[in-house]
């Protein structure tokens, strides 16, 4: 594909494609690693009328209809909404909880194994295992998010205040247009991990000198043990995504709208199908934030079993990286799609949660098993990218290719198996999760370097893995 690339400096490239401009934030090495397909997919996305802005973060890679790592923006007045630029796992995102523990408290592998086993007692990791919270009304959760949870499941106010949003408001009348059986399949999944790249990880922090003041304001210290959680809206979001893929495709056919990629679906924001999707999408966001909350609730119970009943896990932050939300930019309301992209607001921004108004909120960036994750903080310059940064390392190769190219021995070496610093996992055999090995992902340090070099965000802490719990 012919394309003209303009360099704006600071890891910011503007790629001229047939149907519009694509902004890419990456260092030279990462920029050179993108395959032609990612630009082809961008050009297909830019065929959607009246696009205001589109960009890739450095972790961008091929997805269904749209690359993961995309930010795409339309005006609320005359723009479009695309379930393909949201993704099927609506509301998928990250949550981090802190502890008072130091890494030396988990240095003994026997302690970490007990903790893994305890977490598995409280957080179902098997797809066929039901939630421990059947007493929670699913419909209360999808209507009201964290505010729909019984008080007994909210350990303290931080668990609701230290989040990107505790409730996503929408017109509940639209729940009458839910897919058949969605309640049946989603019931019993609250507080369950899910498979694929979802995880619970025990980590310890390394804080750079220049970030000490912000880290201290966030209650962080060097060597501190934290818990990072990655999960989404489970069957609720999946069934909505699948159902509305079909509905959008039928609507586009009826309107005579075509695109070279049949998996790229979209509709005017003001259309019936667009409005229905947006309202129901909010119900999935409510399920997702509540699901991560209940996973964290189970993790805290596990820590109490191992370290004592008084153990607390204060919430640091919870955020999403798959959604489309109305936001105000350039003095007008816009619909900002983020598919595998994290919002990172700077200090003082009016959309920060109250607890982070002055400092800016933590942006939670996972790596992969065997590599570091990061806590970052947005910069004012991030406005140029609608405050979007990466959502993780990003896959370097498909699951199938990973299984063909990476050996279990290589996986074991990356996990430091047999050493005192071994990163423990909850699977007896690494072969069963080979497609999630570190070698399946890009170099997270290079991804974060790209973001820092683009002046979109700064590193506040590096999170080093000690143990990982994966779903099956």
Q: Which residues contact 446 (CB under 8 A, 6 or more apart)?
A: 27, 29, 30, 58
Is 391 catalytic? The answer is yes
Q: Is 367 annotated as a binding residue?
A: yes
Q: Would you say 78 is a known binding-site residue?
A: no
Closest CA to 37 of 68, 1, 11: 1
Helix (H) or strand (E) holding 303: helix 272-307
CA pair distance 337, 84, nearest whole angstrom: 10
CA atoms of 24 and 13, how far apart (whole Å): 5
Residue 412 labeled ligand binder: no
| 321 annotated ligand binder | yes
Give the span between the Cα atoms of 325 and 73, in whole angstroms. Answer: 10
Three-state DSSP at 312 gives coil
Token readout for 394 is 């990003």
> Would the CA dihedral through 239, 243, 246, 252 be positive or negative?
negative
- Is 58 annotated to bind a ligand? Reply is no
Known binding residue 8? Answer is no
**Any binding-site annotation on 213?**
no
**d(Cα 251, Cα 253) in Å, to the nearest integer?**
5
The DSSP symbol for 195 reads: S
Residue burial 381-390, b: 16+ Cβ < 10 Å; e: rest? ebebbbbbbb
Q: Between vectors from CA 245 to CA 46 and to CA 1, what angle results, nearest 5°? A: 30
93 marked as binding residue: no
Residue from 21, 46, 31 nearest 264 by CA: 46
368 marked among binding-site residues: yes
Active-site pick, 61, 162, 337, 391: 391
Asked whether residue 200 is marked as a ligand-binding residue, the answer is yes
394 is an annotated ligand-binding site residue: yes
As a whole number of Å, the CA-based R_g of the chain is: 21
State yes or no: 102 annotated in a binding site.
no
Does 429 belong to an annotated binding site?
A: no
Write out the binding residues. Answer: 89, 197-201, 230, 321-322, 366-369, 373, 391-394, 470
Write out the binding residues for Mn(2+). Answer: 89, 198, 230, 321
Active-site residues, by number, are 391
Write out the binding residues for GMP. Answer: 197-201, 321-322, 366-369, 373, 391-394, 470
């Amino acid at each position: 594909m012919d394309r003209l690339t303009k360099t704006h400096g600071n890891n910011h490239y503007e790629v001229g494609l047939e149907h519009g401009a694509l902004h890419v934030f990456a260092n030279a090495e990462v920029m050179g690693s993108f395959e032609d397909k990612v630009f082809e997919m961008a050009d297909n996305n830019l065929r959607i009328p009246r696009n205001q802005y589109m960009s890739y973060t450095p972790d961008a890679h091929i997805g269904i209809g749209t690359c993961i790592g995309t930010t795409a923006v339309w005006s609320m007045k005359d723009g479009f909404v695309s379930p393909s630029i949201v993704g099927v796992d609506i509301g998928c995102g990250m949550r981090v909880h802190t502890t008072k523990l130091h890494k030396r408290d988990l240095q003994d592998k026997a302690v970490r194994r007990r903790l893994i086993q305890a977490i598995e007692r409280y957080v179902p990791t098997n797809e066929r295992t039901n939630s421990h919270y059947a007493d929670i009304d699913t419909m209360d959760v999808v209507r009201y998010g964290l505010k729909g949870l019984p008080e007994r499941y909210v350990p303290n106010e931080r668990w609701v205040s230290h989040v990107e949003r505790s409730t996503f408001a929408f017109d509940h009348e639209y729940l009458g247009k839910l897919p058949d059986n969605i309640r049946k399949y989603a019931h019993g999944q609250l507080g369950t991990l899910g498979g694929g790249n979802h995880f619970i990880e025990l980590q310890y922090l390394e804080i750079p000198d220049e970030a000490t003041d912000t880290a201290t304001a966030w209650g962080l210290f060097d060597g501190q043990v934290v818990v990072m959680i990655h999960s989404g809206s489970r069957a609720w979001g999946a069934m909505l995504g699948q159902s509305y893929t079909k509905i959008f495709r039928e609507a586009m056919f009826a309107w005579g709208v075509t695109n070279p990629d049949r998996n790229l679906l979209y509709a005017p924001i003001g259309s019936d199908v667009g409005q229905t999707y947006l309202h129901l999408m909010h119900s999935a966001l409510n399920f997702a934030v509540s699901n991560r909350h209940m996973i964290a609730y189970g993790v805290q119970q596990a820590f109490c079993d191992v370290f004592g009943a008084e153990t607390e896990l204060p919430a640091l932050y919870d955020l999403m990286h798959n959604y489309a939300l109305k936001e105000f930019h350039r003095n007008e309301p816009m619909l900002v799609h983020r598919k595998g992209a994290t919002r990172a607001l700077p200090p003082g921004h009016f959309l920060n949660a109250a607890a982070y108004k002055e400092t800016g909120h933590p942006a939670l960036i996972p790596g992969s098993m065997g590599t570091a994750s990061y806590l970052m903080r947005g910069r004012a310059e991030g406005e140029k990218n609608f405050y979007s940064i990466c959502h993780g390392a990003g896959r370097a190769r498909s699951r199938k290719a990973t299984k063909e190219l990476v050996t279990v021995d290589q996986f074991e070496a990356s996990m430091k198996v047999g050493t005192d610093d071994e990163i423990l996992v909850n699977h007896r055999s690494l072969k069963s999760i080979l497609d999630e090995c570190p070698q399946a992902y890009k170099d997270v340090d290079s991804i974060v370097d790209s973001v820092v070099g683009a002046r979109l965000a700064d590193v506040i802490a590096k999170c080093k893995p000690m143990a990982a719990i994966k779903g099956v």
